[in-house]
Structure 1
């Protein structure tokens, strides 16, 4: 029986949170259907992660989807709800926390947004990225979901009238009704918050992957270690993220010899290109490059010497930024399907939740099984398409050091991932 439902706002977030439980041996499934029948979950699944895809929606729509999902889960007998939020606080955080509260009929919910392992902390109610208040970081410049405030109460207050209570571990006197935002600057802080709340206190809770690891320990959701699929070259990286963190990783990999293929504006923004002879030729070129070099990058970003090419192309055809986002991710998913249909057998990697979801939709797969983390926030999972199991590495655009792709390639080539790495308590 399912013990916990995690509701995430994007695909990579669903995976990096779900894997905290999968790595401990709790059977975990990530689904993409908001209308999923919670009463019909496969026997043995203890943690269900729903990618509600609400990050880019209007707040009212995000509220409705999260409230409906949480209410249906509770009606189906799922006893715990974890509202997963973006670790940089993008998206409809206030609306979605309010939705979870209302669905449960609760008057308070602990919210721990910090993820110290990737240098995202909350101090005095302000959220920091690499020591910089989040609104002043790269996430304040996000072209799709810019974070306008750094104080968590101000972010939440834009979308909910629920009281916001600032808390620290060890301040039981401030246990007041509302969304209780906990400061945390280290894994030790997260663990202390968990000890203070106890298992009963996290049955309705919220945060990112950092605190999810604490929740997994508190709820004792453990089991046999997961089986690790074999990872083989070529290593094929698909990037639909515009985050500077990911771009630095691609640049470092290219400098290390990864072939890097960038889509032109007309290729990534015109859907008819997918059915053209030019696309078919491009797919063959990508297959040949991956086979010959053992590694390959397919990148949706424009080159630095012509960084406005896609923007200018879109503007000339009356496309707004949301249409650009949807078209680019759809093209990336379509190209990957054509590669798989043409015989690509590789260890895949998707950077960016939109890109990963587009691939899953293109191959008509609605479920992924998270296995383990290969690096913080870098999740190994797999899917089955046309009878073949395809390992895929998923990563949010804002995670990881510049040399990440090079280190992952080394692990793939040396077969270092024959067993799951031991989990570490946060």
Structure 2
């Protein structure tokens, strides 16, 4: 029986939250099937993470999806529910927190948006990324979903009539009036203090990002023997579906260090007919040779630095930003599937939740097992496809230091993660 259900707004977020429990020994599964049977005995699961993919939906549709999932879980007797939100406050947070409250029939909901390990903190109700108010950070410039408000209460108020109650760390022991309770947190110690202050009963229904999930496992006694890491295949194949400047910098740094890199042109990443063409088959053969020779490879949806080929294509074909996002994710996923079907044997690294979701859908894979973090927010997982087990590393676009890809390649080549 599932003890904790986590409803995540995107795939990479589902994995970096679920892995917090898996690393502590809880039986954890990440699924894309929102009709998953909470009573199934096929796989013993303590923590179930459902990928709701609500980030790009309308607020109303996001509400309905979270409400229906949470209501079904409550009726099935799942004891704890956690609404996983984005650590940069992207998505339909206000409507989704309201949906959880309505489904659980509660009038208070703790919300802890901070993730101190990656320098995302909440101070006096303002959310900061690397010391910069989130609306002024790179997330405020996102081409698909820019953050317009740094004040958490102001952001939530755009989508919910529920009162917002702010809690400074100087106000411990404060009684919780009705509403969404937004807690400041600047350190991991703050997260632990909040969890102890609220206790298991106060956290039956709660919300936040992967940051607060790190303390929930211990508090809710969702622990066990640490999972054993499998043997990773040494070649590292990177599928970059993120346009975040953090990821682009990582790709540029890796290329300068000698990683072969292919930037897909607009036809390759936006026209499905190309994926099914002989030209694509030939390109895949060439990429496979490069992977074998170099033991690392980047397939990137971003334009080469200094060019605007995609912007020109979008204007010429009058594509909306949503059409652009979906087409790129689907084409990159279709190319990755063809690579695997062609015999690619490598550790995959996937950046961006849209890309990961599209890849799983293309392969008709509905479940992944998170294993361990290789760095903060960088998650090792395993999944089965056509009778083979594959190992994958995932991260969201805004996660990681500049030299992350180089360090991951070193870990694989040194067999540091072969056990």
Residue of structure 2 in register with 1:94 after alignment: 94
Residue of structure 1 in register with 2:153 after alignment: 153
Query: CA shift at 1:227, angstroms?
Result: 2.0
Residue of structure 2 in register with 1:351 after alignment: 351
Residue of structure 1 in register with 2:297 after alignment: 296
Asked whether the 8 Å contact 1:18–1:47 carries over to 2, the reply is yes
Give me the whole-angstrom Cα distance separating, in 1, the residues matched to 2:42 and 2:116.
Answer: 34
Asked whether the 8 Å contact 1:232–1:413 carries over to 2, the reply is no
Pairwise mapping of residues 281-320 of structure 1 onto structure 2 (< 5 A)? 281-306=282-307, 308-320=308-320
Residue of structure 2 in register with 1:207 after alignment: 208
Query: CA shift at 1:42, angstroms?
Result: 3.3
Residue of structure 2 in register with 1:423 after alignment: none
Give me the whole-angstrom Cα distance separating, in 2, the residues matched to 1:311 and 1:296.
Answer: 25
Say which is worse superposed, 129-138 or 163-172, in terms of deviation: 163-172
SS at match of 1:393: strand
Asked whether the 8 Å contact 1:138–1:244 carries over to 2, the reply is yes
Matched, 1:70 2:70: yes
Query: CA shift at 1:43, angstroms?
Result: 4.5
Residue of structure 2 in register with 1:424 after alignment: none
Give me the whole-angstrom Cα distance separating, in 2, the residues matched to 1:240 and 1:172.
Answer: 44
SS at match of 1:172: coil
Asked whether the 8 Å contact 2:4–2:48 carries over to 1, the reply is yes
Give me the whole-angstrom Cα distance separating, in 2, the residues matched to 1:399 and 1:248.
Answer: 11
Pairwise mapping of residues 103-114 of structure 1 onto structure 2 (< 5 A)? 103-114=103-114
Question: How many residues end up aligned between the 2 structures?
Answer: 418
Question: TM-score, normalization: structure 1?
Answer: 0.97
Residue of structure 1 in register with 2:269 after alignment: 268
Query: CA shift at 1:187, angstroms?
Result: 0.6
Query: CA shift at 1:41, angstroms?
Result: 5.5
Asked whether the 8 Å contact 1:250–1:405 carries over to 2, the reply is yes
Query: CA shift at 1:174, angstroms?
Result: 4.2
> 4+ runs of 1 displaced by more than 4 Å?
none
Query: CA shift at 1:271, angstroms?
Result: 1.1
Q: Deviations over 1:238-282 (max 9, x none)?
A: 000000000111011001100000100111111111111111111
Query: CA shift at 1:39, angstroms?
Result: 2.9
Say which is worse superposed, 172-181 or 337-346, in terms of deviation: 172-181
Query: CA shift at 1:385, angstroms?
Result: 0.8
Residue of structure 1 in register with 2:385 after alignment: 385
Residue of structure 2 in register with 1:329 after alignment: 329
Query: Which sections of structure 1, spanning at least 5 residues, go unmatched?
Result: 420-426
- Could you say what the CA RMSD is over the residues aligned between the two structures, in angstroms? 1.0
Residue of structure 2 in register with 1:221 after alignment: 222
Residue of structure 2 in register with 1:9 after alignment: 9
Asked whether the 8 Å contact 2:123–2:168 carries over to 1, the reply is no
SS at match of 2:223: coil
Asked whether the 8 Å contact 1:268–1:300 carries over to 2, the reply is yes
Give me the whole-angstrom Cα distance separating, in 2, the residues matched to 1:310 and 1:37.
Answer: 42
Residue of structure 1 in register with 2:279 after alignment: 278
Pairwise mapping of residues 1-40 of structure 1 onto structure 2 (< 5 A)? 1-40=1-40
Residue of structure 1 in register with 2:256 after alignment: 255
Change (3 A) 1:231 1:43: closer
Asked whether the 8 Å contact 2:239–2:300 carries over to 1, the reply is yes
Q: Deviations over 1:316-350 (max 9, x none)?
A: 11211100100000011000000001110001000
Give me the whole-angstrom Cα distance separating, in 2, the residues matched to 1:385 and 1:171.
Answer: 49
Residue of structure 1 in register with 2:231 after alignment: 230
Give me the whole-angstrom Cα distance separating, in 2, the residues matched to 1:357 and 1:32.
Answer: 8
Say which is worse superposed, 132-141 or 36-45, in terms of deviation: 36-45
Query: CA shift at 1:415, angstroms?
Result: 1.1
Give me the whole-angstrom Cα distance separating, in 2, the residues matched to 1:256 and 1:161.
Answer: 51
Asked whether the 8 Å contact 1:269–1:314 carries over to 2, the reply is no
Say which is worse superposed, 292-301 or 27-36, in terms of deviation: 27-36
Give me the whole-angstrom Cα distance separating, in 2, the residues matched to 1:211 and 1:47.
Answer: 15
Residue of structure 2 in register with 1:376 after alignment: 376
Question: TM-score, normalization: structure 2?
Answer: 0.98
Give me the whole-angstrom Cα distance separating, in 2, the residues matched to 1:275 and 1:144.
Answer: 28
Residue of structure 2 in register with 1:422 after alignment: none
Q: Deviations over 1:216-245 (max 9, x none)?
A: 111010111112111122110000000000
Give me the whole-angstrom Cα distance separating, in 2, the residues matched to 1:315 and 1:37.
Answer: 45
Asked whether the 8 Å contact 1:167–1:174 carries over to 2, the reply is no
Give me the whole-angstrom Cα distance separating, in 2, the residues matched to 1:89 and 1:42.
Answer: 35
Give me the whole-angstrom Cα distance separating, in 2, the residues matched to 1:115 and 1:38.
Answer: 29
Matched, 1:239 2:240: yes
Query: CA shift at 1:125, angstroms?
Result: 0.2
